[in-house]
């Protein structure tokens, strides 16, 4: 397993007060495709609100009292799993360890639930640059995805 990331940050439950800020992090057509397979850039103003639904728990990573990342845990009870989705880091904080920290904290939240055997990530083929972040957070490639072209990553409960 990877060593803990040294950035100081913690996750808190999502609040709709931050929806506009999080949406602003979708700063290019490429980011829009990578985060949510969107094609018609810019995304709708309410994109983050549309992600909030039953079976999804959303979190914001704060560092120095500022939001720096967002991610979700999707309950996948038929797989005894949680899936991490819609992971995005504020553009000026990318490549500084916040994405990895967010993944580690989301993993810890997911596996804290009874009956969870793994946490999964479905990675779209266009977003292979993020693989290093996933590997640093302890995830491994397990297969290809079944509903879109890409990879499935997994981290088992240890």
Domain containing 54 equals: 10-117
Residue 137 placed within a domain: no
Is residue 72 situated within a structural domain? yes
- Residue 36: the pLDDT is 87
Q: Which tens digits make up the pLDDT trace of 76-106?
A: 999 999 999 999 999 999 999 999 999 999 9
Question: Is 122 domain-assigned?
Answer: no
In a domain? residue 73: yes
- CATH of residue 70: 3.40.630.30
Per-residue pLDDT at 6: 67
| pLDDT the model gives residue 1 | 42
Question: Which pTM does this prediction carry?
Answer: 0.91
**What's the rounded Cα separation, in Å, for the pair 148 and 92?**
29
Structurally, the chain folds into a number of domains equal to 1
Task: Name 108's Cβ contacts closer than 8 Å, sequence gap at least 6.
Answer: none
Residue 35 Cα distances to 25, 32, 80, 84, 111, angstroms: 10, 5, 24, 11, 23
Residue 133 lies in a domain: no
Band the pLDDT of 4: cuts 50, 70, 90: very low
Does 106 reside within a domain?
Answer: yes
In a domain, 62, yes or no: yes
């Amino acid at each position: 397993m990877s060593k803990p990331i040294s950035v100081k940050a913690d996750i808190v439950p999502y609040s709709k007060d931050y929806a506009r800020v999080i949406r602003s992090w979708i700063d290019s057509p490429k980011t829009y495709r990578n985060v949510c397979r969107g094609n018609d850039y810019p995304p709708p103003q309410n994109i983050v609100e549309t992600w909030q639904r039953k079976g999804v728990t959303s979190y914001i990573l704060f560092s120095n009292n500022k939001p720096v990342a967002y991610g979700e845990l999707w309950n996948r009870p038929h797989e005894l799993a949680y899936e991490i989705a819609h992971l995005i880091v504020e553009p000026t904080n990318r490549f500084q360890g916040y994405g990895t920290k967010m993944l580690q904290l989301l993993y810890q939240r997911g596996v804290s639930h009874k009956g969870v055997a793994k946490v999964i990530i479905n990675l779209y083929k266009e977003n292979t640059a993020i693989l290093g972040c996933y590997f640093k957070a302890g995830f491994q490639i397990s297969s290809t995805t079944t509903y879109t072209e890409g990879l499935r990553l997994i981290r088992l409960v240890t």
